[in-house]
Amino acid sequence: MTENERKELIASMKKSIVIGVTGGVGAGKSSVLKYLQEKWDANILVLDDVSREMLEIGGLCYDETIALFGKDIVLPDGRLDRAQIARIVFSDEKMKKALNGLIHPAVRRTSDAFTAEARARGKGVYVIEAALLIEEHYDEICDELWCIYASEDVRTKRLAESRGYDMTRIRNMMASQLSEEAFEAGCSVKIDNGGEPEKAFCEIDERLSLLIRNP
């Protein structure tokens, strides 16, 4: 699809489209988001960034997190010691659930506001990205959930080469997420990003073209 064809499709939109993007670690979600933003002028909301901001000084969950974990997690400059929090929740399921109980509802309120803005504007491509879209029932506010797919071998190689992760860390990260089958079962669209990026980009163009032409 040419640049002009994409621009014409965007200009012809009759309503906003809200896409939820998810998939396993190393599947290449970032490259998909970059393509959507650059080629489809998409508005992007990355929920990991939202939750991170909520734990910054003055963030929505900053004070509540200190109340939950105690002042020992506060660094001398006032920031929260994320490494210490991670160690605690990794070994204590009760604390993990309590932290998620603080952050997830606040993140969902931000997502709901993002979606409401999309609907109010009535035009454009809006994308919400997170690993937990299926578990947190984001199908309730998105038009479609997309699974960005790459095989476990491909994802392992990417994580080792691009991020320098060792095999133990990679296995632990993958084990903490849904299986490939569960990601696919929970989404209505599968984008194969296990090979050349252009193949995935063509699939994205085809799907968005269909959604825009058949709102």
pLDDT in tens, 85-135: 988 988 888 998 999 999 999 999 999 999 999 999 888 999 999 988 999
Contacts of 15 (CB under 8 A, 6+ apart): 122, 123, 215
Global pTM value: 0.89
Contacts of 114 (CB under 8 A, 6+ apart): 43, 45, 126, 128
Would you say residue 33 has pLDDT above 90? yes
Q: CATH number of 1-42+124-215: 3.40.50.300, 3.30.70.260, 3.40.50.1360, 3.40.630.10? A: 3.40.50.300
Residue located via tokens 């932290």: 99
3-state secondary structure of 123: coil
Structure confidence at residue 209 (pLDDT): 94
CATH 3.40.50.300 boundaries in the chain:
1-42+124-215
Would you say residue 141 has pLDDT above 90? yes
Residue 145 pairs in a beta bridge with 20
- Measured CA to CA, the distance from residue 45 to residue 126 in angstroms comes to 8
DSSP 193: -
Nearest to 95 by CA among 70, 62, 78, 60: 70
pLDDT in tens, 149-201: 999 999 999 999 888 888 988 888 888 888 889 999 999 999 999 989 999 99
